[in-house]
Homo-oligomer: A and B are copies of this chain.
């Protein structure tokens, strides 16, 4: 038959942003090789989420045949990524003892770099999250690009020289605007030396290792996911407050990036249309009312001592000691933080938020205040409890583990 007299297959006009892709465009079939990779990644992810497990336990968790699991894990045992543990006496009457499987401590490690304006840290991270060979350095944020590259290469070389074997790759967490698809630091206002730097290509060429980069809040999220309170969760968000405000989300088992890593600019969502001028040029951004500059300016207005040194941790402490001004300011600040989380919750229903940075410094008390404000604002849904926690691990360490986790995600295909 002829395919004529059919209604046009696009009944509305196509929008201009995405006309037909070229050959081999967005049609992706899954091959059997890909199937194998997907399943290997999911087995490894299950070990991250559930800890050491035997083949039979993994088979039960996945609802598949024991021989399927053996077929998946045996090659990884043989190549040294996984190792078999000692037999565990059974909980049952009789029964062959189970042999749990987990990551080989002698497997290659992961390289990690944290890039902050003017300073950098590098380290190695084991597959189970231990940090080794931590090295720190400083650089001139307005200095010469070649000088910076020499410093970063030297610092990384010092770190990598302490590994017995080549790591799987190097992950980089950086502030600023990052193009994570092309591995380029687009702009860092506080460290112009970094702006425009194709750091991934440079380091890949220099070290002959895979290199991945993402921006700092997303690295925090990945750190939460693999080694912190997000472990085993399918959906949650990381929110960072400090001099600036940022966030990232993990949705249905994937880090949300948006096009070229541009998603998640939460600090510049607007919560007060006619609010104060933001440094991005707009008015009333969430960052203008939920970051340290606002907090310190209000502390000065309320007459708190040494306002430039005010932090959430200090306010929690002073409120506990009876200071009403501290209590009032902390309440207003946590309410402002809550507005952005409310908008995120209304938009995406993530239900679980991990706080980092200054607000995390306020501990469980600050988190509980934020949670109470969010619950007052969000319309309740059946069976949907909102969780707001803090990541109690030191800031640099979460970001470094997160940078390492970027390598896990891309190299071991732990996330599909």
> A322-349 vs B: 1/0 string, CB under 8 Å?
0000000000000010010011101111
Decide: B349 and A9 in contact? CB cutoff 8 A: no
Decide: B62 and A343 in contact? CB cutoff 8 A: no
> Which chain B residues border A7 with CB–CB below 8 Å?
128-130
Does A363 sit at the interface, judged by CB under 8 A? Answer: no
Decide: B23 and A61 in contact? CB cutoff 8 A: yes
Decide: A1 and B229 in contact? CB cutoff 8 A: no
Does A224 sit at the interface, judged by CB under 8 A? Answer: yes
> Which chain B residues border A343 with CB–CB below 8 Å?
269-270, 343, 347
Closest Cβ neighbor of A101 among chain B residues = B3
Decide: B260 and A83 in contact? CB cutoff 8 A: no
CA distance A129 to B149 in the complex (A): 57
Does A24 sit at the interface, judged by CB under 8 A? Answer: yes
Closest Cβ neighbor of A184 among chain B residues = B382
Decide: B15 and A233 in contact? CB cutoff 8 A: yes
CA distance A273 to B269 in the complex (A): 13
- A213 CB to nearest B CB, Å: 16
Does A25 sit at the interface, judged by CB under 8 A? Answer: yes
> Which chain B residues border A289 with CB–CB below 8 Å?
273
Does A79 sit at the interface, judged by CB under 8 A? Answer: no
Q: For residues 193 through 236 of chain A, which have their beta carbon under 8 Å from a beta carbon of chain B?
A: 224, 227-236
Decide: A3 and B38 in contact? CB cutoff 8 A: no
CA distance A389 to B389 in the complex (A): 40
Choose the segment among A44-52, A89-97, A295-303 that binds chain B (4+ C-beta atoms closer than 8 Å). A44-52
> Which chain B residues border A265 with CB–CB below 8 Å?
346-347, 379
Choose the segment among A26-34, A139-147, A161-169, A308-316 that binds chain B (4+ C-beta atoms closer than 8 Å). A26-34
Does A148 sit at the interface, judged by CB under 8 A? Answer: no
Decide: B13 and A229 in contact? CB cutoff 8 A: yes
Does A85 sit at the interface, judged by CB under 8 A? Answer: yes
Work out how many copies of this chain go into the complex: 2
CA distance A258 to B10 in the complex (A): 28
Does A18 sit at the interface, judged by CB under 8 A? Answer: yes
- Which bracket fits the contact residues of A? 35 or more
Closest Cβ neighbor of A48 among chain B residues = B9
Name the prevailing secondary structure of the A interface residues.
loop
> Which chain B residues border A46 with CB–CB below 8 Å?
27
Q: For residues 220 through 262 of chain A, which have their beta carbon under 8 Å from a beta carbon of chain B?
A: 224, 227-236, 251, 253, 256, 258-260, 262
> Which chain B residues border A306 with CB–CB below 8 Å?
none
CA distance A351 to B17 in the complex (A): 8
Closest Cβ neighbor of A62 among chain B residues = B27
CA distance A385 to B18 in the complex (A): 10
Decide: B2 and A129 in contact? CB cutoff 8 A: no
Given A17-B387, A61-B23; A12-B85 close (CB under 8 Å): no
Decide: B128 and A6 in contact? CB cutoff 8 A: yes
> Which chain B residues border A268 with CB–CB below 8 Å?
346, 379
The 5 A-B residue pairs with the shortest CB-CB distance, nearest first, are A258-B349, A12-B228, A17-B387, A12-B229, A269-B343
Told that A6-B102, A263-B347, A263-B348 touch, could you supply 10 new A-B pairs with CB distance under 8 A?
A15-B236, A21-B232, A27-B62, A30-B42, A179-B382, A251-B256, A260-B384, A262-B384, A269-B343, A273-B275
28 A–B contacts, CB within 8 A, in A order: A1-B84, A1-B86, A2-B86, A3-B100, A11-B228, A15-B229, A15-B230, A17-B352, A17-B387, A26-B49, A26-B232, A26-B253, A27-B49, A29-B38, A29-B43, A29-B64, A29-B68, A31-B64, A260-B381, A260-B383, A263-B349, A264-B347, A265-B379, A268-B346, A270-B271, A270-B377, A271-B273, A273-B339
Binding site for B on A (CB under 8 A): 1-3, 6-7, 9-21, 23-32, 35, 38-39, 42-43, 45-46, 48-52, 58, 60-64, 68, 83-86, 100, 102, 105, 128-130, 177, 179, 186, 224, 227-236, 251, 253, 256, 258-260, 262-266, 268-275, 280-282, 284, 289, 336, 339, 342-344, 346-352, 354, 377, 379, 381-387, 389, 391-393, 401
